[in-house]
Amino acid sequence: MDLDTVKTGTIWAIVVIAVIGLVLAIVIKKIVGKIIALVVTAVLIFFGWQQRTEVVSFADDMKGEACAAEPSFFGVTVSLPDDWCA
């Protein structure tokens, strides 16, 4: 291998490596973004379901009683139907 081959071959190798690195960065960024979106969605679903379960459970426990307190859903007071608080 002579000096000219090293000079030109190295430049092309660097360009190819840079292009591959750029493509990989874009692909990985999209994959990581999707994973983050899925994790955030799963967390929101979990907390929403947990709050729903608490409200429904509270309402079932209070059915037919005086309904002295009302449940809250993420801090918002939930009004129970009138026939539940008889």
Q: At 67, which amino acid appears?
A: C
H or E stretch covering 8: helix 3-62
Residue range 63-75: mean pLDDT, rounded: 65
The residue type of 19 is V
pLDDT tens digit sequence for 14-59: 888 999 989 989 999 889 989 999 999 999 999 888 888 877 777 7
pLDDT at 61 over 80: no
CB 47 within 8 A of CB 69: no
Domain extents in the chain: 3-85
Q: How confident is the model at residue 65 (pLDDT cuts 50, 70, 90)?
A: low
Residue 1: pLDDT above 70? Answer: no
For the entire predicted model, the pTM comes to 0.56
